[in-house]
Amino acid sequence: MLNRPTVTPQRPAVAPAAPAPPAAGAPRRPGTGALTPPPQMRPRFVPPPINKVEDTGLNGLWLQELIAKTLYSRGYLSGFQIADSIRLPFVSVVDGLLNTLKRDKLIEVLTSSAGFGEGAYQYTITGAGNQRAREALERSQTAGPAPVPIQVYNDSIRKQSMGRPKVSQKALRQLLDQLVISDKIFNRIGPAINSGSSMFMYGPPGNGKTTVARAIGNLILSEDMFIPFAIDVEGQVVKLYDSVNHQLAKDEDIDPGTGALRAGAKRDPRWVKIKRPFIVVGGELTLAGLDLVFDDVNKYYEAPFQVKANGGMFLIDDFGRQQVRPRDLLNRWIVPLENRLDYLTLHTGRKVDVPFDVLVVFSTNLPPKDLVDEAFLRRLRHKVEITDPSYEEFAEIFKRVCEAKRVRYSQQGLAYLLQEWYIKRNRKLRAVHPRDICDQINDIATYLGVEPLMTKELLEMAAGAYFVEL
């Protein structure tokens, strides 16, 4: 038996329970009551339709070169295919650009289909068009969706701002019902979410900091928003949409067969509908990764992480283990966090400003005093310490994990594990241990051909294989 007094169970200090919460943007499990976001979280921006070239905000010559580059790289395409490739409507926009290119003898009609209109004509590039396309490619290799002017993008982010989410205690308890979490920590998370600014989560490893952050993401990022595929900054293209970091949302305007905008859709095709982003970076983060990254080969920019996270949440995991000093990294965030405005630098030296509508969460296993001083911590509005679980908390986590992983729970077995592998060895409890030990039990039981139980023998083998004496 444990050489500790019995403690009345209480609502525990954070620990992930099994099964783990769904990824950001995933549907809530039945019975927990999906939360209705407040009105200020709902998209208030729909890209207006384009009726003429001037509505694009782009130079007509630039668009002609975009079509020439597209045909240069793909050989021949129909008018409709060209329109789909550069994400602009054929009628009143692409058709006029094609007529100009034909008149200048830069493209020609390869085949025509009577009765289907000019959109079905097959176009190919001429010798003069090849020369024009090569000259354009030397300036930029971009040959995909047409970009959106940065002023239009900035306006869209302001209109789709999360603002200050209003999360009630009841709603938060519904969301975090899959976690074992203490009232103390619970009541710090709620106000931090409602601040809509920044959060500093710290504590020993393996206690669920990332899990809590993802759960927060599930709550505040359940709504959709629009972002452009790319942004135009004075003729320079910045790629924004990223299939790795952005999750497509259900879009009634998109034809599921082709992935193109439906013919009757009344909005700008250069935009894509996504779930509010939840972007996670760890030790790979550098200061250079927080500014525009210029591709010297392809001659275009890649948007930095915080711009891709606009309208959503940006989790900097393992803060303090980056290749850059924590102080330098925090210095980079002072202006965006305080002014809600970020400044990016083109390779020409010109600076451009973009809205900073991001909930930034710093998560670290290191003591705060080893990372930053009091002045920097003051700029991070909310600090949430995720502590080790108590013995009662640990037992509750073990029960849930055993149920999820189909390991028969035993109170006697847990008492033996705690006595022999924690109390006697002065080992700290970690919320992640039950999951890992149950995985070990399942692996060993499968190998031995026995039922996965919390017996003394299986627990000894599991703990012996899992723990390392440091």
Report CA dihedral (168, 172, 174, 179) to the nearest 10 degrees.
-160
Residues 243 and 425: their CA atoms lie apart, in Å, by 47
Cα gap 368→377, rounded to integer Å: 8
pLDDT score for 462: 96
Give the Cα separation of 307 and 244 in Å (integer): 14
Q: Give the range with max mean pLDDT: 27-31, 126-130, 233-237, 344-348.
A: 126-130
CA dist 262 and 277 (Å) reads 25
How confident is the model over 163-207, as pLDDT tens digits? 777 778 888 887 787 788 888 888 888 888 887 778 899 999 999
Helices assigned H by DSSP within 87-179? 95-103, 127-139, 150-159, 169-175
Residue ranges of E strands in 75-132 = 76-78, 107-111, 122-125
CB 415 within 8 A of CB 2: yes
Give 296's pLDDT tier (boundaries 50, 70, 90): confident
280-285 average pLDDT score: 88
Give me the pLDDT at residue 175, please.
Answer: 76
DSSP helix/strand/coil, 22: coil
d(CA 355, CA 343): 9
424 falls in which pLDDT band (50, 70, 90)? very high
What's the maximum distance between 2 C-alpha atoms anywhere in the chain? 91
Instruction: Say what the pLDDT of residue 460 is.
Output: 96
Q: What is the mean pLDDT of residues 19-44?
A: 41
Amino acid 28: pLDDT = 35
Catalogue all structural domains in the chain, each as residue range(s) with its CATH number. 59-144 (1.10.10.10), 147-387 (3.40.50.300), 391-466 (1.10.8)
Gap between the Cα atoms of 134 and 23, Å rounded: 44
Which pTM was predicted? 0.82
